[in-house]
Amino acid sequence: FTVHIGASDVAVTGIPPQFMTYTLLMPPGSPESDAELLIRSISGTAESLGITIVGGHTGWYGAVTVPIVGGVTVWGIADRDAWISPGGARDGDVLLMTKGPAIEAAALLGILYRDRIGDRMDPALLDRVIRRTDEITVVEDALSAFSAGGVHAMHDATEGGVLGGLWEMHAASGIPVYADLDNVPVPEDIASLAGALGFDPWLAISEGTLLAAVDPGSVQAVLTTWEGLGIPGFVLGRFDASLGRNTLKQNGKTGALPDPQEDPFWKLFFAGLPG
């Protein structure tokens, strides 16, 4: 995840991530082979994305109890007017979304709770949700959409999930958002885990879910591009200045889009940690 999360933050600008630095902190007494394993994994993932690691730091420290990867910085180089930001959405843009909600939350909580929810969840669905760790990235989603054309803004749905991401795109662009959650099915495995653990998937952290503001004339090109790559894509809504407020439709009912105050992932994550 170290590489993909940093790379995703660059990719949503439409610019390929190119360079990276990071810091690896190791507990005292841990063998060099442990550090070598982590370094090989990080380097291999970076290479697969075309990213060159140009610097960083590795050390063993007394206050460190488990290996920590931090200080991750990823960047790319482009002309000043060649990139986009989450604030670039325009009135009338169509709001597209990839994969589904709670990709990151479901995958990580599935791993953390797998030995405790076997009686509340079909084993095949639990296996499926755990395998979604491979989907915790929007690098391919974002770069392919940008290449298809007509994309004015992109954002990955991290803290606060999809609904939090929509509020952030609204705050950046100043344009109200209309989101129809009934248009996007929650994947069965994610819905099952959310039911077992009691959280709303639309509010949970979802690195791996891309939100994109797209010119209406380019929507089909973007969706077709994603389909060709095996990335599920959906029309979630639109940016509409005439609304006056952010608006949500769910279960056939329309009202104000709630502004997430707390991501349910963290309470479940810390409650599930051993010890």
**pLDDT of 147-174, one tens digit each?**
999 999 999 999 999 999 999 999 999 9
pLDDT for 61 beyond 90? yes
pLDDT for 187 beyond 70? yes
Residues 110, 111, 115, 116, CA torsion sign? negative
pLDDT for 62 beyond 90? yes
CB 126 within 8 A of CB 117: yes
Torsion angle, alpha carbons of 253, 258, 264, 265, to 10: 100
Q: Residues with Cβ < 8 Å from 166, sequence gap 6 or more? A: 95, 177, 179, 211, 246, 257
Pair (236, 131) in one structural domain: yes
pLDDT at residue number 18:
98
In a domain, 203, yes or no: yes
In a domain, 10, yes or no: no
Pair (195, 98) in one structural domain: yes
Q: Per-residue confidence at 275, pLDDT binned at 50, 70, 90?
A: low
pLDDT for 30 beyond 80? yes
Closest by alpha carbon to 96, among 201, 179, 176? 179
- pLDDT tens readout for residues 194-230: 999 999 999 999 999 999 999 999 999 999 999 999 9
In a domain, 30, yes or no: yes
pLDDT for 102 beyond 70? yes
In a domain, 7, yes or no: no
CATH number of the domain that residue 38 is part of: 3.30.1330.10
Pair (42, 172) in one structural domain: no
CB 249 within 8 A of CB 181: yes
In a domain, 2, yes or no: no
Pair (40, 163) in one structural domain: no
Helix or strand run (H / E) with residue 40: helix 32-48
Pair (105, 202) in one structural domain: yes
Pair (60, 182) in one structural domain: no
Q: How far is it, in rounded angstroms, from Cα 66 to Cα 28?
A: 9
Q: What angle do CA 198, 202, 203 make, to 5 degrees?
A: 75
> Taking all residues of the chain, what is their mean pLDDT, rounded to a whole number?
97
Residues of the chain with pLDDT > 90, as a percent, come to 96
CB-based burial, 148-180: b 16+ in 10 Å, e otherwise: bebbbbbbbbbbbbbbbbbbbbbeebebbbbbb
pLDDT for 1 beyond 90? no
Q: Which residue range is the domain that position 190 belongs to?
A: 86-272
pLDDT for 118 beyond 90? no
CB 167 within 8 A of CB 259: yes
**Count of domains forming the chain:** 2
CB 190 within 8 A of CB 135: no
Average pLDDT over residues 97-105: 98
pLDDT at residue number 200:
98
pLDDT at residue number 165:
98
In a domain, 43, yes or no: yes
As beta bridge partners, residue 213 has 95, 153
DSSP state of 87: G
Average pLDDT over residues 45-69: 96
